[in-house]
Amino acid sequence: MRTAFLKTLEELAGKDPRITLVVGDLGFTVIEPFREKYPNQFVNAGVAEQNMTGMAVGMALAGRIVFTYSIANFPTLRCIEQIRNDACYHKANVKVVSVGGGYAYGALGSTHHATEDIAMMRALPGMVVVAPGDPAEADGATRAVAEHDGTCYLRLGKAGEPAVHTGPINFELGRAITLRKGGDITIVSTGGMLHSCAAAAAGLEKDGIQARVLSMHTVKPLDTEAVLKAAKETRGIMTVEEHSVTGGLGSAVAECLAQSGLHAPFKIIGLPDAFCREVGGQEYLRNRAGLSVESLIAAGKALAGKR
């Protein structure tokens, strides 16, 4: 996803001189092509993410479209006050980009795990929260947030995520993509869990369970129409995210269902509400948290059995 984002941003910057990339002294080996092509549209703010955000807001209020970029929780949790008071309050055209959502930087520990970022970003007034599921969605998301007039949060994986979509997609902020049709249960995915959700749906099909898979790439604004349609047409909904079970996609869908008056069986699958104190790579930590394909299949079976 990171590669798709930077490739698309480079293309957009060539067409629009307002587009500017500000980094927190990282991304080297991947950002050099942008820096060399567009030196007047690139700034390295150093290891000073709060300054990076303030600088981005200043440039945005002067007419630029500014993307800030750093690892995992550094451009979000470290500078939440600047994002809230400077960017969101002024409706600045700042796009906060986080690379390495969830456990992507697994072995580096909790300081590098972005596990509460969606919850915090979606609570900010006027913030658009986007977490694409594969490189094709990352391309579409980059174009969409660049075009959107206002503050956005773009949550990416790291690198090497598999392509899930096999053809062109219609990416629109606030509109889920139906990856797979099904009438038994609905699996709603956001971010890098999309490939695992697709694999789980294929596994459920072998047991005669037809799972609808929705890629909810935009957590805010949520596609409430797709959620309510799933609640009416399938026997239950489960949300899947590499993020805390508190405040993320699951919470957003739960709020939607609760206010609608519909009573569909519902399950939130995500990371526990606790710091990760184990050491290992992303796949290992995902599995330990119950996000393996096998765990998703088991949860889907349990959900399909409810009435």
**Residues annotated catalytic, as ranges:** 49
* Residue from 238, 187, 196, 242 nearest 215 by CA: 187
- What CA–CA distances, in Å, run from 138 to 7, 173, 230, 234? 10, 12, 25, 29
Q: Whole-angstrom Cα distance, residue 72 to residue 64?
A: 24
Q: What is the DSSP string of 125-192?
A: TT-EEE--SSHHHHHHHHHHHHHSSS-EEEEE--S-PPP---S----BTTB-EEEE--SSEEEEE-GG
- Do 140 and 132 meet the contact criterion of CB atoms below 8 Å apart? yes
* Residue from 224, 211, 296 nearest 254 by CA: 224
- What CA–CA distances, in Å, run from 100 to 112, 159, 183, 185, 273? 8, 8, 33, 30, 19
Q: Whole-angstrom Cα distance, residue 62 to residue 74?
A: 25
Q: Whole-angstrom Cα distance, residue 211 to residue 208?
A: 10
Q: Is the bond preceding 221 in cis, omega lying within 30 degrees of 0? A: yes
* Residue from 302, 118, 306 nearest 200 by CA: 302
Q: Would the CA dihedral through 217, 240, 70, 90 be positive or negative?
A: positive
Q: Which helix (H) or strand (E) holds 53?
A: helix 49-61
* Residue from 298, 147, 139, 141 nearest 209 by CA: 298
